[in-house]
A = this chain, B = another copy of it.
């Protein structure tokens, strides 16, 4: 969005944004209302101002440290996901329960044991945690995160977490994705054979 907008003109309309993002203009305007972005009727939104406001709203002004628990394949891949840098995030704490993994280094970061979570999370004021453990560990890990001051959790496990409601949870259930993909493919084949 920024990319495209910046070069062309200093103002952009909500429907223009919408077209590029694949949503109707009304939705864009509603979303921008979240942080009270002001547009000028018949002109649009000032691109640079909008971008600044959006960055402030998303908290992208200063870099943010993140704790990741569960240094399996998925955990390792995420640790290297370039999106983090884009959003000013950096995984600074990489934890695992498995004593075999503790001590080894991934992407310049040493895997530590769960016991250091409370200390380091508070010291670095970590607010964001990522869970890539087996499903059975997720609830416990989440509770430990919350106890350590984390208030925003990205859960890659199929486990539904029960946590205080002020904690934000984003579920990223890859298994659900697989199930759906498989179901749609199966459905397609059923329809195809019946004809």
Interface residue from B57, B73, B170 paired with A181 (Cβ < 8 Å):
B170
Nearest CB of chain B from residue A77's CB, rounded to whole Å: 3
Interface residues of A in 54-112 (CB under 8 A from B): 56-60, 64, 73-74, 76-78, 80-84, 86-89
* Contact residues in B for A88 (Cβ distance below 8 Å): 182
In the complex, A187 Cα to B23 Cα: how many Å? Answer: 25
Tell me the dominant secondary structure on chain A's binding face. Answer: helix
Among the stretches A36-44, A114-122, A171-179, the one at the interface with B is A171-179
**In the complex the two chains form, is B77's CB within 8 Å of A151's CB?**
no
**In the complex the two chains form, is A185's CB within 8 Å of B128's CB?**
yes
Q: Interface residues, chain A, CB within 8 Å of chain B?
A: 21-23, 56-60, 64, 73-74, 76-78, 80-84, 86-89, 127-128, 151-152, 154, 160, 162, 168, 170, 172, 174-175, 177-189
